Amino acid sequence: MYLLLANPTSGAGQGSRVKAEVIAEITARNLSYEDISGTSYESAVLNLRSALKAKRPKSVIVVGGDGMVHLAIQELAGSDVPLILIPAGTGNDFARTMNLDLASPVTALSYSLTHPPTSVDLGRVNGRYFAEILSTGFDSMVNERANQMRIRSKIKYDLAMLLELPVFKPLEYEITVDGERITTRAMLIAIANGISYGGGMKICPNSDIRDGLFDLLILEPVSKFEFLKVFPRVFKGTHVTHPKVKILQGRKISIESKAIAYADGERIGPLPITTEIVPGALKTWLRT
């Protein structure tokens, strides 16, 4: 028996359509399932927690984007119940890292039903797990602005970036990587378990979600003009060759500054924070 957890409002409403396609495919394969979607994130969490206590499903099928993944991994991390992700969100960054088919939910489901799962790493901060990227600095301030806007479409992040860039100033950071302390000024710091965030921005393109290590990106101060010139390169991951971009690796990373942090698009809160990699914490499907 499978548990089905869907966000009908994800991906500008495409969640409902994708959920219907998933149910049709499950039914065609004569597989049993229980829909525990709920009517809100809060009810979905309670439904999933309750269902996992009551029974041992073959897998949890999550229809949605990175927000639904973030919700589900809080309950599935460290268990032997795998997560089948059907991408139906706006960003779908975890799906990108897992090389899933973003255009065909049935293909993504079929792959998971016909191939064995693998174990991937998760990050943990303040007692919560994250799948992709924890960041602080410019992008966190953009998130803060965007979350205060009433606009519901993805364009609010572009608008927030344009509003934040003229007033943003680099910050002083104290970073500790596996016991080694670094003092630096930076515009942005990203701790990557996966590859991308923000709907395909490959902030750490060489990150490996199965190597037991974070990739740590530090963007040292550059001019606003230089930032705008280099920014488009992040979608191909070629920004990492810029001389002001530094990449390190580590298992346990602490950051201190007068700033805030976000992980998987969710607000973590003000620094300082300490995050650790949790190797093999989640069973899911990585398409090869």
pLDDT at 12 over 70: no
Question: What is the model's pLDDT at position 5?
Answer: 94
- Which pLDDT band, with edges at 50, 70 and 90, does 10 fall under? low
Give the Cβ contact number of residue 148 at 10 Å: 9
Output the CA angle 157-145-138, nearest 5 degrees. Answer: 80
CATH class assigned to 130-279: mainly beta
pLDDT at 265 over 80: yes
> Domains of the chain: which residue ranges?
2-115, 130-279
From the candidate CATH numbers 3.40.50.2000, 3.90.79.10, 1.10.3720.10, 3.40.50.10330, the one assigned to the domain spanning 2-115: 3.40.50.10330
130-279 matches 2-115 in CATH topology: no
Distance CA 117, CA 90 (A): 25
- Which pLDDT band, with edges at 50, 70 and 90, does 94 fall under? very high
pLDDT at 147 over 90: no
pLDDT at 7 over 80: no
**Cβ-proximal residues to 273 (8 Å cutoff; 6+ apart), any chain:** 125, 126, 134, 254, 255, 261
Q: What is the pLDDT of residues 51-75, one digit of tens each?
A: 998 888 999 999 999 989 999 999 9
**Cβ-proximal residues to 35 (8 Å cutoff; 6+ apart), any chain:** 4, 6, 23
Place of tokens 């090869």: 288
Sheet hosting strand 266-270, strand order edge to edge:
245-250, 214-219, 188-192, 133-137, 260-263, 266-270
220 neighbors 281 (Cβ within 8 angstroms)? no
